[in-house]
Amino acid sequence: MGTESLAVLSFVAFSLSELRHTLSLSLASDTASPIALFSRIRSAFHCIDFGKFISHSAMADSSSAAVSARGPITHVIFDMDGLLIDTEKFYTEVQEIILARYNKTFDWSLKAKMMGKKAIEAAKVFVEETGISDSLSAEQFLVEREEMLQKLFPTNELMPGASRLVKHLHTKGVPICVATGSHRRHFQLKTQPHGEVFSLMHHIVLGDDPEVKQGKPAPDGFLAAAKRFEGGPVDPSKILVFEDAPSGVLAAKNAGMSVVMVPDPRLDKSFLDAADQVLNSLLDFNPSDWGLPPFEDSGN
């Protein structure tokens, strides 16, 4: 049997065991109704990391080949909204309220086009795609949503696994930073409750940084972030980006970097294809997949 067939077989066996493991965990957690059961089976299938196929194929030859297919990674860049903190839900909430005034509804296909972008770029998408630009300009939309957002932002929480991963990489001496579409004023409101986690970042690149001429999916923010590491610019092929947004995943790829996507489950699955690895949660990240130091705890 050829190396490729072995790789395919090993991937299938691995995926089935991962699926069985996830299902057994889900089913053990409580008694499930048929609908809950169906949705768990669906999300268990979603949890299969098809990106692992790459490393499993490579592993058929040697384990160091597996790392070289994806790394070795020396530096990590984190997206912020929807990845480290759960602020995307606030944008959704406020945009739903504004659209309701025009008897329109906000959906995830529009959300996918807005998330990760600079405020004004996302605002233009919002008024144009919804057909309300004659009544509300992008600038007016930003003013309308501001008061609501300012109240909501400081109440945000860290995403599951964010604190553990940031602290782990920092403790192991892996240089880490943030590259976000958020501008400075919003960044300050959003990070107020999480000083400890954000203080571990080597630097932060904001959406209104003079070097970030264009927001995601342009690579500007990630390239500026690569430059500002100690001894930078760091070779993009040595950088791993964590993202939740389709525009952010494309920005990382446009910068020549590897990207782990942790998408909201409501995002259309077609947006996952561009990522090198897709995870349900940061808690599922295995640093060894990328040649990074392994966790020493069990993750609970």
Closest of 219, 162, 179, 183 to residue 75, by C-alpha: 179
Which residues within the stretch 134-193 sit at the binding site for Mg ion (CB under 5 A)?
none
Torsional class of 173: left (φ above 0), alpha (ψ -120 to 50), beta (otherwise): left
Q: Which does 271 bind (CB under 5 to 8 A by kind): Mg ion, ligand 1GP, none?
A: none
State phi, psi for 201 to the nearest 5 degrees: -75, 140
Q: Are 70 and 291 in contact (CB under 8 A)?
A: yes
Which is the catalytic residue, given 49, 79, 209, 289? 79
Report which residue's Cβ sits closest to Mg ion.
82
Of 181, 217, 263, 287, the one binding ligand 1GP by CB under 6 A = 181
Task: Kindly state whether residue 219 participates in binding ligand 1GP, applying the rule CB under 6 A.
Answer: no
Q: Which does 209 bind (CB under 5 to 8 A by kind): ligand 1GP, Mg ion, none?
A: none
Strand order in the sheet with 75-78: 204-205, 176-179, 75-78, 239-243, 258-261, 277-278
79 is catalytic: yes
Q: Which is nearer to ligand 1GP, 116 or 175 (CB)?
A: 116
Task: Kindly state whether residue 182 participates in binding ligand 1GP, applying the rule CB under 6 A.
Answer: yes
Number of Cβ within 10 Å of residue 231's Cβ equals 6
Q: Are 10 and 60 in contact (CB under 8 A)?
A: yes
Which is the catalytic residue, given 49, 81, 209, 276? 81
Number of Cβ within 10 Å of residue 228's Cβ equals 17
How many residues contact ligand 1GP, by CB under 6 A? 13
β-bridge mates for residue 259, sequence order: 241
Residue span binding ligand 1GP (CB under 6 A) among the ranges 16-24, 25-33, 37-45, 79-87: 79-87
Q: Which is nearer to Mg ion, 44 or 245 (CB)?
A: 245
Task: Kindly state whether residue 180 participates in binding ligand 1GP, applying the rule CB under 6 A.
Answer: yes
Task: Kindly state whether residue 81 participates in binding ligand 1GP, applying the rule CB under 6 A.
Answer: yes
Task: Kindly state whether residue 49 participates in binding Mg ion, applying the rule CB under 5 A.
Answer: no
How many residues contact Mg ion, by CB under 5 A? 7
CA atoms within a 13 Å half-sphere pointing along the CA-CB vector of 30: 6
Please provide the distance, in angstroms rounded to a whole number, between the alpha carbons at the two ends of the chain.
40
Which residues within the stretch 66-85 sit at the binding site for Mg ion (CB under 5 A)?
79, 81-83
Task: Kindly state whether residue 257 participates in binding ligand 1GP, applying the rule CB under 6 A.
Answer: no
As a whole number of angstroms, the distance between CA 220 and CA 181 comes to 11
Q: Which does 161 bind (CB under 5 to 8 A by kind): Mg ion, ligand 1GP, none?
A: none
61 is catalytic: no
Task: Kindly state whether residue 224 participates in binding ligand 1GP, applying the rule CB under 6 A.
Answer: no
Q: Which is nearer to Mg ion, 244 or 289 (CB)?
A: 244
Non-local CB neighbours of 252 within 8 Å, separated by 6+ positions: 77, 219, 222, 241, 243, 258, 259
Task: Kindly state whether residue 244 participates in binding Mg ion, applying the rule CB under 5 A.
Answer: yes
Lookup: tokens for 1: 């049997």
**Enzyme catalytic residues:** 79, 81
Interface residues toward ligand 1GP, by CB under 6 A: 79-82, 91, 115-116, 119, 180-182, 245, 248
